[in-house]
C-alpha cells in the first residue's frame, strides 16, 4: 500500500472509533448538522416535511404594472435624493446612466468635498483591492474570463454647468492600492453649509461583469446591484460613537459589503421590449412601450440603496399580504421558468418571514417586497439583499430542499438589520449578518420545524476572531464568514440563554425600535442589552465581541480512591474542571456514579478551574461538563466528558489525542 492509502484507512478507522464513542457517551446527535448556510451541511427536517411541490404551472402574469404613490410621512432624515435615468443596451452587458444627486449637509460644519463609491470598478482588473483580497472568488462563485467590469464617469458638473471632472480624484484610504478606483473624491467649488444642499449632475457608462460577486449578467439575465455612483455616508457627532463629524469612506474589499445613507430614489429604467424589470420600491407610472423598448419608472424613499434586475424569461407572480405590523405589502416574485411551479413555497417563506419579523421586532413599513430567482449558472447574483428586494439562490435544482426557504427567510431578515437599522457593514458586519442569521433560525424553527444543531455549528469555530473589526481585517473570507455569521449568532444565543427567550425578544425589539434608520454601533447594542436586563455586560462583550474568545470547558482529571468511614466502604472522587476561554454564565457539571446516582453541580466559572471532592458509597463512573450544551460558545465539546475507570495514562492519552484529531479533522473540513 502507498502511504496515501494507509493515511486514508487510518483516518476512516479513527473517525469510526470517534463516532462509536460519541454515540456511547451521548454525543450522537452532535455529528448531525441540521443547519443550512452557504458553507454548512444541508438541513434536515425535525418533523415537518418540505412543502409539496405544485405540479401545475401557475398562471403567468405578464407584467408587474401596478402603479402606487409615495406616502407623505418621512421615516428617515433623507440625506440624499437621486434622480436616475438608465438604459440597458441590447447586449445586456452595458448600462448607460445619467443622474442628478442632491446631498443635504446633516452636520454642523461646512463640507467642501463629496465621496462617491464606484463599485463596478472592483472588477476592472485582477489588481483591484477586491480582486486581490478575494482571489476572484466569493462564497462558492468564481470570476470567469468575462468577469471584467467597470464604471466610467463621462460627465460631472454643477447645476450651473461647471465641469467638476478636473477635480475628480481617486483615493485609496484603506490600503493605498493605486490600481483601485472604487472610491472617488470631488472637491466642490463652494462648501455646503450645515442644513444646506448641493446638486450635481453626472453621466456614466457601466460594463457589467459576467455575473460574480452580487452583480453582472448571465446570458440575458441582468443583476444591477451597486451599479450607480453612490455617495458615502457623512456621519454626524454621536453616530456610531463619533466624537467629530466626517465622511466614513472605504474602498470595496473582498469581504466588505455596503454602507450608505437614507434618501429618495426616482429611477427610470429603459430595457429592450422583451425584458421584465424588478426593482427596489414601486412603479409610479404605467410601463411605456415605444420603439422596441420598454420604460419603467420606480420610486423608493427611506432606503439607502437601489437595485434592479431584468430578464426576458421572468415568470411574474404577485400576492397581497397583511398581518400585525404589516399594513399591506405586495410580494412580487420574479421566477426563473424552471421554478415557476414552486411559487407557493417562495410565497410561504416570504409571508412566514415578514410575519415573524414584524411580530418580534417591528413594522415592515414598505409597500413592496420583490424576490428574484436567478437562472441556473447565475448564483453569483443569488442570496443577496437590497432594500425591498432580495435574490434567492439560483434555480440550479428543479426541486430544491429547505435551502430555498432558508435563503428567502435570511434575505428578508436583512430588510431589518441591513435595510432599516442600516449597520455599517464595512466596520461592524456582525450587526447585520449575525443578527440576521439568529433571526433566520428562529423563523425556520417556528415555520418549518427545523432546529439548528448548535453543537456542530460551534465546532465549526476553528479560527475565532473579534467581531468588532474591519471586514477586510479578517485573514480570509472563510474566517470572515465563520465569525460574522456563525460566531456572531452564537454570541446572541449566549445572551439569550442567560436572560431567556422573552427578554431576548425585548432586547432585539428595543434595539430595532430605537435605532431604525439611524446607523447604530456595537456599543449602542450593548447599551440596549444593559438597559433591558439592568445588568452590566462589559465582560461578556469584551470576551466575545471585542476579543476572539470561545467558552471552552474541560474535565481535566478524575481520581477515585476507596476510603473507610465509620467502618463502611466509601469512595472519594476528585474531579478537576478547567476553563480554557471566556465565561458564559453558570456551567452545569454532572457526576454519574456506578450505583446510578447522579449529581449536578453549578459553577459560575469566575475562576480558571474548580475541583469537586465527593464522598459517596459508590465510585464515580463519569463526569460531564454541560451535557445539554447550554454553553453554545464551547467549540471543543470532545473534552467535556471523561470516564473515571480508565487508567489515568490511557485517559490522558485519549483526551489529548482525540482533541488533536478532532481539531485536525475540523481544520481540513471547515469552510
> Band of the pLDDT at 17, cuts 50, 70, 90?
very low
Would you state the cell numbers that stand for residue 415, as one nine-digit string?
430588510
Q: What is the pLDDT of residues 126-185, one digit of tens each?
A: 999 999 999 988 877 888 899 999 999 999 999 999 999 999 999 999 999 999 999 999
Q: Is the pLDDT of residue 44 over 70?
A: no
Is residue 210 a known part of a binding site? no
What domains lie within the chain, and their CATH numbers? 78-312 (2.60.40.1730), 321-420 (1.10.390.10), 451-545 (no CATH), 552-653 (2.60.40)
What is the C-alpha end-to-end distance of the chain, expressed in Å?
31
Residue 582 phi, psi dihedral angles, 5° rounding? -85, 175
- What's the rounded Cα separation, in Å, for the pair 321 and 368? 10
Nearest to 232 by CA among 525, 524, 519: 519
Q: How large is the average pLDDT for residues 459-488? A: 95
- Residue in this structure with the C-alpha cell 459560575, named with its chain if needed: 604
Please give the residue that has the higher pLDDT: either 657 or 57: 657
Q: What is the pTM of this model?
A: 0.86
Mean pLDDT, the chain, as a whole number?
A: 89
Is residue 339 a known part of a binding site? no
316 is catalytic: no
Q: How large is the average pLDDT for residues 396-404? A: 94
Nearest to 269 by CA among 311, 215, 240: 311
> Band of the pLDDT at 657, cuts 50, 70, 90?
low
Residue 100 CB coordination number (10 Å): 15
Pair type for strands 276-279 and 308-311: antiparallel
Nearest to 563 by CA among 523, 624, 618, 600: 618
- Structural contact between residues 407 and 401, judged by C-beta atoms closer than 8 angstroms: no
Is residue 414 a known part of a binding site? yes
Beta carbons within 8 Å of 382's beta carbon, 6+ residues apart: 374, 391, 392, 393, 394, 407
> Band of the pLDDT at 430, cuts 50, 70, 90?
very high
Per-residue model confidence (pLDDT) at position 252: 97
Q: Which listed residue (485, 511, 540, 571) is catalytic? A: 485
Crossing angle, helix 343-360 and helix 403-414, to 10 degrees? 40
Query: Rg of the Cα trace of the chain?
Result: 28
Residue 559 CB coordination number (10 Å): 14
- What's the rounded Cα separation, in Å, for the pair 604 and 556? 17
- Structural contact between residues 439 and 489, judged by C-beta atoms closer than 8 angstroms: no
Q: Is the pLDDT of residue 30 over 70?
A: no
> Band of the pLDDT at 546, cuts 50, 70, 90?
very high
Would you state the cell numbers that stand for residue 226, as one nine-digit string?
451597486
Q: How large is the average pLDDT for residues 463-480? A: 95
Q: Across-strand partners of 573?
A: 560, 614
- Structural contact between residues 174 and 92, judged by C-beta atoms closer than 8 angstroms: no
Would you state the cell numbers that stand for residue 122, as one nine-digit string?
472592483
Q: Which listed residue (257, 385, 411, 496) is catalytic? A: 411
Q: Across-strand partners of 578?
A: 554, 609
Please give the residue that has the higher pLDDT: either 373 or 64: 373
Nearest to 494 by CA among 537, 527, 536, 524: 537
Q: In what order do the strands lie in the sheet with 368-372?
A: 315-323, 326-335, 368-372, 389-391, 384-386
SS3 state at 264:
strand
Is the Cα torsion angle 501, 505, 510, 515 positive or negative in sign? positive
Please give the residue that has the higher pLDDT: either 137 or 247: 247
Q: What percent of the chain has pLDDT over 90?
A: 82
Nearest to 302 by CA among 99, 142, 78, 579: 78
- Structural contact between residues 461 and 487, judged by C-beta atoms closer than 8 angstroms: yes
Please give the residue that has the higher pLDDT: either 501 or 33: 501
Per-residue model confidence (pLDDT) at position 526: 98
Would you state the cell numbers that stand for residue 570, as one nine-digit string?
466509601
Q: What is the pLDDT of residues 270-287, one digit of tens each?
A: 999 999 999 999 999 999
Nearest to 229 by CA among 339, 325, 151: 151
Pair type for strands 233-235 and 282-283: unpaired
- What's the rounded Cα separation, in Å, for the pair 112 and 115? 11
> Band of the pLDDT at 6, cuts 50, 70, 90?
very low
Nearest to 447 by CA among 593, 320, 345: 345
- What's the rounded Cα separation, in Å, for the pair 460 and 488? 13
Q: What is the pLDDT of residues 565-592, one digit of tens each?
A: 888 999 999 999 999 999 998 999 999 9
Per-residue model confidence (pLDDT) at position 628: 92
Q: How large is the average pLDDT for residues 65-74? A: 83
Q: What percent of the chain has pLDDT over 70?
A: 87
485 is catalytic: yes
- Structural contact between residues 560 and 648, judged by C-beta atoms closer than 8 angstroms: no
Amino acid at each position: 500500500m502507498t502511504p496515501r492509502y494507509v493515511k486514508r484507512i487510518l483516518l476512516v478507522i479513527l473517525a469510526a472509533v470517534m463516532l462509536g464513542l460519541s454515540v456511547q457517551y451521548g454525543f450522537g446527535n452532535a455529528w448531525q448538522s441540521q443547519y443550512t448556510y452557504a458553507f454548512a451541511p444541508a438541513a434536515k427536517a425535525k418533523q415537518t416535511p418540505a412543502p409539496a411541490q405544485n405540479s401545475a404551472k401557475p398562471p403567468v402574469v405578464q407584467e408587474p404594472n401596478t402603479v402606487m404613490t409615495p406616502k407623505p410621512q418621512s421615516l428617515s432624515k433623507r440625506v440624499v435624493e437621486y434622480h436616475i435615468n438608465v438604459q440597458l443596451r441590447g447586449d445586456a452587458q452595458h448600462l448607460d446612466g445619467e443622474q442628478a444627486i442632491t446631498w443635504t449637509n446633516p452636520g454642523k460644519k461646512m463640507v467642501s468635498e463629496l465621496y462617491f463609491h464606484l463599485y463596478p470598478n472592483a472588477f476592472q482588473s485582477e489588481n483591484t483591492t477586491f480582486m486581490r483580497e478575494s482571489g476572484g472568488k466569493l462564497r462558492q462563485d468564481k470570476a470567469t474570463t468575462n468577469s471584467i467590469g467597470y464604471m466610467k464617469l463621462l460627465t460631472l458638473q454643477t447645476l450651473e454647468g461647471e465641469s467638476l471632472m478636473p477635480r475628480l480624484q481617486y483615493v485609496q484610504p484603506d490600503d493605498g492600492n493605486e490600481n483601485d478606483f472604487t472610491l472617488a473624491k470631488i472637491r466642490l467649488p463652494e462648501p455646503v453649509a450645515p442644513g444646506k444642499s448641493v446638486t450635481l449632475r453626472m453621466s456614466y457608462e457601466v460594463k457589467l461583469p459576467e455575473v460574480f460577486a452580487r452583480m453582472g449578467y448571465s446570458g440575458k439575465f441582468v443583476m444591477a446591484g451597486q451599479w450607480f455612483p453612490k455617495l458615502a455616508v457623512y456621519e454626524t457627532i454621536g453616530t456610531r460613537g463619533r466624537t467629530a463629524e466626517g465622511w466614513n469612506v472605504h474602498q470595496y474589499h473582498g469581504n466588505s459589503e455596503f454602507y450608505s445613507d437614507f434618501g429618495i430614489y426616482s429611477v427610470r429604467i429603459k430595457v429592450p421590449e422583451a425584458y421584465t424589470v424588478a426593482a427596489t420600491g414601486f412603479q409610479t407610472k404605467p410601463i411605456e412601450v415605444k420603439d422596441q423598448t420598454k420604460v419603467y419608472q420606480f420610486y423608493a424613499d427611506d432606503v439607502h440603496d437601489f437595485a434592479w434586475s431584468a430578464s426576458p424569461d421572468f415568470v411574474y407572480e404577485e400576492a397581497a399580504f397583511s398581518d400585525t405590523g404589516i399594513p399591506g405589502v405586495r410580494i412580487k416574485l420574479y421566477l426563473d421558468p424552471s421554478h415557476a411551479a414552486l411559487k407557493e413555497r417562495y410565497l410561504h417563506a416570504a409571508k412566514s418571514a415578514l410575519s415573524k419579523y414584524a411580530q418580534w421586532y417591528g413594522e415592515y413599513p414598505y409597500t413592496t417586497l420583490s424576490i428574484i430567482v436567478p437562472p441556473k449558472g447565475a448564483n453569483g447574483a443569488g442570496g443577496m439583499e437590497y432594500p425591498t428586494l432580495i435574490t434567492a439562490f439560483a434555480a440550479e435544482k428543479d426541486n430544491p430542499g429547505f435551502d430555498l426557504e432558508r435563503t428567502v427567510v435570511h434575505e428578508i431578515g436583512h430588510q431589518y438589520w441591513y435595510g432599516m437599522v442600516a449597520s455599517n457593514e464595512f466596520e461592524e458586519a456582525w450587526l447585520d449578518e449575525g443578527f440576521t442569521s439568529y433571526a433566520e433560525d428562529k423563523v425556520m424553527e417556528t415555520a418549518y420545524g427545523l432546529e439548528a444543531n448548535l453543537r456542530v455549528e460551534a465546532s465549526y469555530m476553528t479560527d475565532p476572531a473579534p467581531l468588532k473589526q474591519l471586514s477586510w481585517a479578517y485573514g480570509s473570507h472563510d474566517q470572515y464568514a465563520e465569525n460574522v455569521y456563525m460566531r456572531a449568532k452564537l454570541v446572541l444565543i449566549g445572551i439569550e440563554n442567560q436572560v431567556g427567550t422573552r427578554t431576548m425578544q425585548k432586547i432585539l425589539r428595543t434595539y430595532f425600535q430605537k435605532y431604525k434608520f439611524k446607523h447604530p454601533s456595537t456599543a449602542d447594542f450593548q447599551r440596549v442589552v444593559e438597559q433591558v436586563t439592568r445588568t452590566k455586560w462589559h465582560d461578556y462583550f469584551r470576551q466575545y465581541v471585542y476579543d476572539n474568545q470561545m467558552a471552552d470547558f474541560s474535565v481535566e482529571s478524575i481520581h477515585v480512591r476507596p476510603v473507610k468511614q465509620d467502618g463502611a466502604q466509601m469512595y472519594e472522587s476528585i474531579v478537576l474542571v478547567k476553563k480554557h476561554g471566556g465565561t458564559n454564565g453558570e456551567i452545569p457539571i454532572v457526576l454519574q456514579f456506578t450505583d446510578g446516582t447522579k449529581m449536578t453541580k453549578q459553577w459560575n466559572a469566575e475562576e480558571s478551574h474548580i475541583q469537586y471532592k465527593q464522598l459517596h458509597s459508590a465510585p464515580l463512573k463519569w463526569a460531564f461538563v454541560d451535557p445539554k450544551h447550554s454553553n453554545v460558545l464551547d467549540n471543543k465539546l470532545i473534552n467535556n466528558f471523561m470516564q473515571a475507570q480508565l487508567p489515568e495514562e490511557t485517559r490522558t492519552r485519549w483526551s489529548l489525542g482525540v482533541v488533536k484529531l478532532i481539531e485536525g479533522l475540523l481544520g481540513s473540513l471547515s469552510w
